[in-house]
Amino acid sequence: MKKFNDHRKDVSKAVEKQNTKIAFTIGALAILLALNVFLADLSAHNALEAMGDANDHWAWYQSKSIKGYIYETQAEALELKITEGGLDVECGQSYRETIDRYEEKIATYEGEKAEISANAEAFEEENDRWNKRYIQYSMALILAEIGILLCSAAIINKDRRFWFIAIVLGLIAIGEMLFGLLVV
């Protein structure tokens, strides 16, 4: 009977030791989970901010387009008046000067539009990078959550295989997180 009790104590100590390791794994996965929640939230925030900046720039681009169009139509209207004739020289000269000013404005707007569109496209690319990071962090987050669940299953079922799978998932989650931090 004593031998049986000693064996039970040894098994109990082994299970306790294993459960301690699994609990440590749960803690590590929980830290990994929290870190990836933070990184995913930060990425989502930055993606939204970049998209907002891109939208602002495209709206600015559109306003420059509208202003340019207004100057173009005004210049065309003045050109029509000049070609119709019947204007005195002084009035025709004044129209021509106004058309020249309008064409300068149109050229200025075209230059500004090129710069604005380049900035808008840069913000869209930044948005894409943040969205890709968000996906990486979300994948890591899901893997860490599944790892925690598998650790719990390992304790409940007293089966180390669940724990080993959880460790593998945790390592993959770390890889996903590092890929998001360093590569994307």
Helix 2-84 × helix 160-182 angle, to 10°: 30
pLDDT tops 80 at residue 4: no
What's the CA gap between 113 and 119, in Å, rounded? 10
Model pLDDT, residue 2: 62
pLDDT above 70 (res 83): yes
Cβ pair 171, 128 in contact under 8 A: no
The whole-number pLDDT of residue 16 equals 87
Cα distances (Å, whole numbers) of residue 5 to 13, 15, 16, 17, 177: 12, 15, 16, 18, 47
Distance CA 40, CA 137 (A): 5
Q: Torsions phi, psi of 85, nearest 5?
A: 85, -170
Q: Which run of H or of E encompasses 87?
A: none
Share above pLDDT 90 across residues of the chain, in percent, rounded to a whole number: 78
| HSE toward the beta carbon, residue 93, CA cutoff 13 A | 3
The C-alpha atoms of residue 181 and residue 42 are separated, in whole angstroms, by 12
Of 61, 63, 68, give the one whose Cα is nearest residue 103. 68
Residue 7 confidence (pLDDT): 52
Nearest-10 Cα torsion for 25, 27, 33, 36: -100
pLDDT value, residue 5:
58
- Summarised one tens digit per residue, pLDDT across range 96-143 is 999 999 999 999 999 999 999 999 999 999 999 999 999 999 999 999
More confident residue, 82 or 153: 153
Q: Model-level pTM? A: 0.78
DSSP state for residue 145 in the 8-state scheme: H
The residues, ordered by sequence, that sit 6+ positions from 61 with a Cβ below 8 Å of its Cβ are: 113, 116, 117, 120
Place of tokens 């790892």: 147
